C-alpha cells in the first residue's frame, strides 16, 4: 500500500519562481561567458541566493553511466570553472577515466540556470596543496582520515578518525608543518559551451548559449 501523497498532489501550487524576475537582455551581454557568469553570480549574491556557488557536477563512469553530485565552485576564470575533491573518490576516478564534465547551477529565486560542458584538467601539485591548506582543519582531517565515499561503519568511526587527525595537527609545530594530501585535487572544467537560462513569467524562457571556437566565443539563442 502506498500511503504517500502523490507527487503531483504534494507540489500542486508550489511556486517554482517568484512573480518578480530579473531582466535579461541577451542582446546586451559581454563577449565572454565568464564575464556574464560573474555578472549573474554578483546579482545572485546581492539577492541573497543561498549557496550560489554550489554546482552540480556530472561525470561518467567506465561503463558510460552518468553520476552527479553537488560541489562548491572554487574559482571561475577565463581558464574555466574550478572545484576541488579527492582524486580517490568516485568522481575523481571517473574524471581520470573520462576527463570531461557537465555543470549545472540553479538559482530558483532568480529563475536562472547556468549549464557548462567541457574537458576537465586537474591542477598541479602546488595548486592542489595550496587549496588543501586553505581548508578548515576538520575538512582537512576528513580527507586525511578516510577515502571519500568508502563504506563507513557508524558515526563513532568518523568522529574517532577525525579526532585522531585533529590531535595530530595539534601536536605539530604550527600550520606550516600541517600534513598535505596526496589526493586533494582542484579540477577545472574548460568550457566548450556555457548556457544561460532565464525564466520568464509567461513561460517564454530565454536561453543564450555561448560556444567556444578556440580563440573566442559565438552566441546563439535556443528554443526554450
Ligand atoms: C552544498 C554541497 C557542497 C559540497 N561541496 C563539495 C566539494 O566542494 N567537494 C567535494 O568533494 N564534495 C562536496 N560535497 C559532497 C558531494 O556532493 C559528494 O557527496 C562527495 O563529493 C562524494 O561524491 P562522489 O562519491 O561522487 O565522488 C558537497 C555537497 C553539498 C551538498
* Cross-strand partners of 218: 211
Separation in Å, CA 43 to CA 46, 154, 181: 5, 41, 35
For 209-221, write each residue's pLDDT tens digit. 999 998 899 999 9
Cα of 69 vs centre of ligand 1, distance in Å, is 6
Any idea where the domains of the chain sit in the sequence?
A: 21-136+183-222
Q: Is the dihedral of CA 81, 85, 90, 96 positive or negative?
A: positive
Nearest CA to ligand 1 atom 18: 69
Would you say domain 21-136+183-222 falls under CATH 2.30.110.10? Answer: yes
Q: How far is CA 213 from the centre of its chain?
A: 24
pLDDT at 2: 63
- Contact of 140 with 181, CB cutoff 8 Å: yes
Residue 177 is classified by DSSP as G
Nearest CA to ligand 1 atom 19: 69
For 154-211, write each residue's pLDDT tens digit. 999 999 999 999 999 988 877 777 899 999 999 999 999 999 999 998 889 999 999 9
- Ligand 1 pocket, CB under 6 A: 51, 54, 67, 69-72, 83-85, 89-91, 148-149
pLDDT at 87: 97
Nearest CA to ligand 1 atom 22: 149
Separation in Å, CA 40 to CA 36, 52, 133: 6, 10, 29
Q: How far is CA 142 from the centre of its chain?
A: 19
Amino acid at each position: 500500500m502506498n500511503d504517500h501523497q502523490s507527487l503531483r498532489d504534494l507540489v500542486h501550487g508550489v511556486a517554482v519562481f517568484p512573480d518578480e524576475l530579473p531582466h535579461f537582455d541577451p542582446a546586451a551581454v559581454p563577449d565572454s561567458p565568464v564575464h556574464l557568469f560573474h555578472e549573474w553570480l554578483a546579482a545572485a549574491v546581492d539577492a541573497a541566493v543561498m549557496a550560489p556557488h554550489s554546482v552540480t557536477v556530472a561525470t561518467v563512469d567506465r561503463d558510460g553511466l552518468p553520476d552527479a553530485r553537488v560541489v562548491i565552485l572554487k574559482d571561475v576564470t577565463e581558464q574555466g570553472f574550478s572545484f576541488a575533491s579527492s582524486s580517490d573518490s568516485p568522481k575523481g576516478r571517473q574524471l581520470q577515466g573520462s576527463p570531461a564534465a557537465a555543470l549545472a547551477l540553479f538559482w530558483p529565486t532568480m529563475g536562472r540556470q547556468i549549464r557548462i560542458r567541457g574537458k576537465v584538467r586537474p591542477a598541479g601539485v602546488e595548486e592542489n596543496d595550496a587549496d588543501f591548506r586553505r581548508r578548515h582543519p576538520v575538512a582537512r582531517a576528513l580527507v586525511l582520515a578516510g577515502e571519500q565515499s568508502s563504506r563507513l561503519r557508524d558515526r563513532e568511526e568518523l568522529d574517532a578518525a577525525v579526532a585522531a587527525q585533529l590531535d595530530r595537527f595539534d601536536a605539530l609545530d604550527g600550520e606550516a608543518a600541517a600534513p598535505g594530501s596526496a589526493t586533494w585535487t582542484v579540477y577545472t572544467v574548460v568550457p566548450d559551451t556555457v548556457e544561460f537560462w532565464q525564466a520568464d513569467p509567461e513561460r517564454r524562457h530565454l536561453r543564450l548559449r555561448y560556444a567556444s571556437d578556440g580563440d573566442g566565443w559565438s552566441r546563439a539563442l535556443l528554443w526554450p
